[in-house]
Amino acid sequence: MIFTWILLAHWVGDFLLQTSKMALGKSQNFKWLFIHVITYTAVLLVCGLLLFPLETAITYVLLNCILHGVTDFFTSKLAAKYQEKPRVFFPILGFDQFIHIVTLYITYLNRDSIFLF
């Protein structure tokens, strides 16, 4: 059940709170990618603090913040190239989400053995 809450936090941070400026700008301007990742991280942090002990929550969230940013850095640039070709654009978005979910899950399974500090 815990991972379901993490997925909900992911949805809120990655979709619900992502503005059009973030979605369109993150492929071209690091500022918008940074704002998106910080917004996403804030949501995940609230969720993490409710689900895990403090040290585990901070480590889990920081690691996923970095992984989310790296993933979006590449996938947003690729998706932007195919924005006018839905047959290519949407599979790229789907793959982006696949990567996010897998990284959230792997870091969740290993949350007690991953220490950043």
What's the CA gap between 117 and 113, in Å, rounded?
Answer: 12
Tens digits of residue pLDDT in 29-47: 999 999 999 999 999 999 9
pTM over 0.85: yes
pLDDT > 80? residue 87 = yes
What's the CA gap between 43 and 23, in Å, rounded?
Answer: 17
Q: What is the pLDDT of residue 3?
A: 97
**N- to C-terminal Cα distance for the chain?**
27
Q: Quick check: 91 and 79 in contact, CB under 8 A? A: no
Q: What is the number of alpha carbons within 13 Å of residue 3 lying toward its C-beta?
A: 12
Mean pLDDT of the chain: 95
Read off the pLDDT band of 117 (50, 70, 90).
low
Read off the pLDDT band of 116 (50, 70, 90).
low
